Structure 1
Amino acid sequence: MAEDDPRILVSTEWLGAHLKDPDLRILDATTFLPGTGRDARAEYEMTHIPGARFFDIDDISDHRSDLPHMAPTTEKFMSRLRAMGVGDGHQVVVYDTHGLFSAARVWWLFRLMGQGDIAVLDGGLPKWQEEGRPIEDMPPIVRDRHMTVRRQNHMVKDVTQVSAASKLGDHTILDARAAERFRGEAPEPREGLRAGHIPGAHNVPYTDLLNADGTMKGTEALRAVFDSAGADLTKPVITTCGSGITAAVINLALARIGHMDNALYDGSWAEWGAFPTVPVATGEA
């Protein structure tokens, strides 16, 4: 169960107690990997937590980039959230239908934009429904709300910065992909990408940070996962994954154990694996 922190992670009990708070805003941030045949928005429209808005990760992104769902400009983020009725003074809770998967990406994105009052719902919609808590299919009543955005550029890294960190060893690089992909033993789901990992990176599959029910492990168990992966948390951390979604689960876990000096490599393997001039390692870290 989450140790409730409205800036990191809250339990279904916490959300149930605060569901009718006037300044609470709930976001469904579900997204599905290509090829699943599932439509996140359609599923949201059929079933969501009362009052929830749908946060479309692919729409609220930088469409000038060929890479998937890169962080949007501050102007686009502000305009989209204002249209959703989310702004200054709101406590935001974000969830997804997996349990804990893409919700962490939106939590990180809000923090990138200088918004601190946001938490992930521990266990997401599955836990909420298993407990028999209310759901609805009605669209929320939306009123515009101004949002002040102050982009925190230190929270995101590009390929040049990650390449330098890999060479210098002055950051700990943590890769959230499954072990087989990290080692280069399994093909990448996106065509044209090399197999393997960033040299010097350590593998922390995001699923290792979760309990069987999709909730996040407790602080001591999280520290044990990082220790077993050989992650030196005395250094700043850069997280990475396939396309910048599950990397944010590591950022969330780091925040939960009090490690705030971390950033996310937004291009992740979708960029590194296609970039011809950067090296690729295979096998164990």
Structure 2
Amino acid sequence: MESLVSTEWLANEMGASDLRIVDCTRHLPGTGRDALAEYEAGHIPGAVFMDLADLVDAGAAVENTLPPAEKFASRMQSLGLGDGSRIVLYDDSAVKTAARAWFMLKMFGAHDVAILDGGIAKWKAEGRALTQGKEVLRHRHFTVWQDDKNLRTKAHVLANLHSKDEQVVDARGAKRWSGEEADPRPNIASGHIPGSFNVPYTALFNADGTFKDKAGLKAAFQGAGVDLGKPVVTSCGSGITACVLIFGLHLAGKDDVALYDGSWTEWGNDPDTPKATKPAA
């Protein structure tokens, strides 16, 4: 299974015994939208609902921190996602939250994971079937393991300011990155990690919500000054849209990419971390 699958592919695979479809929609606070209620009102047949708001480390100092491996595995087992499953993820979120689920599943050991190109919006636009209610699947074993090689901490990113071994790429909008626009969270500074590049996650998509092709994805990064021959660390507000950049780079054939999970929520809240701003042109 490819990492990105089409609605046509999914429609043809429906009913396969090893296929698991997952709605990973999560909305930002303040949108007034309820992802679970929307799922129950209409979802792709057979899809279970992954509650990304619950898939966090409740004891972490920074919001939206990745959960412990055991917690993640337990949640996956209860959803019926396990060893041997082909997992297709989709969302209906402005911040493309299926990429966060993809990153977690890959980090915690799932092998065959894909994102539905265009999400449920494209599925609906094509007039394909929807189901109401809540799907419940039989529990399956999910082998617990965790590979942290694609994770970076604040200490890593601070050290990188001097070593410059990795390029930091920020997925936030240009005005948030430059400091022209204040951070929406209280007590969080404006600006960006010094030396970081800005590739807003929205730059990776076509007008219909599908991902750009390989050439278009590469152009989005190279146009912002990113050298695709060197390692990358992605960041954003709280670690969600940074995963969109990781998935986009994966589609472009680049996998030496890591996530700074604390992202700007952690960096901008620390008075001792250096911050940079870019004057308006």
- Structure 2 match to 1:15: 10
Q: Which moved more, 1:95-104 or 1:218-227?
A: 95-104
- Structure 2 match to 1:251: 246
Separation (CA, whole Å) in 1 of partners of 2:87 and 2:217: 24
Q: Does 1:220 align with 2:215?
A: yes
Q: Does 1:45 align with 2:55?
A: no
Separation (CA, whole Å) in 1 of partners of 2:232 and 2:165: 9
1:30–1:95 Cα contact (<8 Å) kept? yes
Separation (CA, whole Å) in 2 of partners of 1:260 and 1:162: 18
- Structure 2 match to 1:62: 57
Gaps of 5+ in 1: 1-5
Secondary structure of 1:149 counterpart: coil
- Structure 1 segments (4+ residues) deviating >6 Å: none
Q: 1:114 to 1:7 in 2, by over 3 A?
A: farther
Separation (CA, whole Å) in 1 of partners of 2:95 and 2:124: 14
Q: 1:224 to 1:255 in 2, by over 3 A?
A: same
> Given the two structures, how large is their TM-score scaled by the length of structure 2?
0.96
- Structure 2 match to 1:200: 195
Q: Does 1:83 align with 2:78?
A: yes
> Given the two structures, how large is their TM-score scaled by the length of structure 1?
0.95
Q: Does 1:35 align with 2:30?
A: yes
Separation (CA, whole Å) in 2 of partners of 1:209 and 1:115: 25
1:209–1:216 Cα contact (<8 Å) kept? yes
Separation (CA, whole Å) in 2 of partners of 1:164 and 1:236: 15
Separation (CA, whole Å) in 1 of partners of 2:94 and 2:2: 18
Identity of aligned residues (%): 48
- Structure 2 match to 1:235: 230
* RMSD (Å) for aligned C-alpha atoms: 1.2
**Deviation for aligned residue 1:100:** 6.8
2:57–2:66 Cα contact (<8 Å) kept? yes
Gaps of 5+ in 2: none
State the AA in 1 paired with 2:191.
Answer: G
**Deviation for aligned residue 1:169:** 1.0
**Deviation for aligned residue 1:7:** 4.6
1:28–1:54 Cα contact (<8 Å) kept? yes
Q: Note the 1:128-167 alignment, pairs <5 A.
A: 128-167=123-162
State the AA in 2 paired with 1:37.
Answer: G
Secondary structure of 2:183 counterpart: coil
Separation (CA, whole Å) in 1 of partners of 2:146 and 2:273: 28
Q: For 2:178, which of 173, 179, 183 is the aligned residue?
A: 183
State the AA in 1 paired with 2:156.
Answer: Q
State the AA in 1 paired with 2:99.
Answer: A
**Deviation by residue 1:56-93 (Cα, 9 ceiling, x = unmatched):** 11101110113222111110011111011110000001
**Deviation for aligned residue 1:38:** 1.1
2:27–2:93 Cα contact (<8 Å) kept? no
